[in-house]
Amino acid sequence: MRNVTLGIAALVLASCSDPVTAPGELPSVTGSWVLQSFQTEGGPSGVVADAGAYTADFATDGHVSARADCNRCSASYSAAGTSLEIGALACTRAYCGDESFSDDYAAALDDATSFARSSSSLVIRHPRGSLRFVPNS
């Protein structure tokens, strides 16, 4: 319960941060990101225990590569304003264990509709909720 409380507090603080773009400049999804938490519609926010197991790398050439636990995925993407569309992800299909949510993570990325970026986070929205990332250092 404490981890969920800390995760919610971190999300509230991150949502108050300054935008990374200058006034009049469109935000960019590009960069290397590590999944910090996920939110499902109508459900509680979940904090990711193994931060490095779920990543997304958005290249400037319109390709995204992702780590979904023990699987690797890739696709093309396009972003216009804050709209985001990720093409059908091609992923390896290894069994990552009962605790893994690799399939749900890949499906959420595949269904991305929009994003919001601040100086400290990237939030990708999909029809069933959202994914919150922090920069991969």
The pTM assigned to this predicted structure is 0.80
Q: Tell me the one-letter amino acid at 96.
A: C
* Buried/exposed code over 79-110 (b: 16+ C-beta within 10 A; e: otherwise): beeeebebeebebeeeebeeebbbeebbebbb
Number of folded domains that form the chain = 1
Alpha carbon 1 to its chain centroid, in Å, reads 23
How far does the chain reach from its first CA to its final CA, in angstroms? Answer: 27
User: Looking at residue 125, which CATH number applies to its domain?
Assistant: 2.40.128.270
Tell me the C-alpha distance between 134 and 74, whole Å. Answer: 19
| Span 48-75, pLDDT tens digits | 888 799 999 999 999 999 999 999 999 9
Write out the two tokens for 135. 């920069």
CB neighbourhood size of 125 (10 A): 18
pLDDT by residue for the chain (137 residues), tens only, comes to: 444 333 433 433 344 443 444 444 568 999 999 999 999 887 778 888 887 999 999 999 999 999 999 999 999 999 999 999 999 999 999 999 998 999 999 999 999 999 999 989 999 999 999 999 999 98
The domain of 24 spans: 2-135
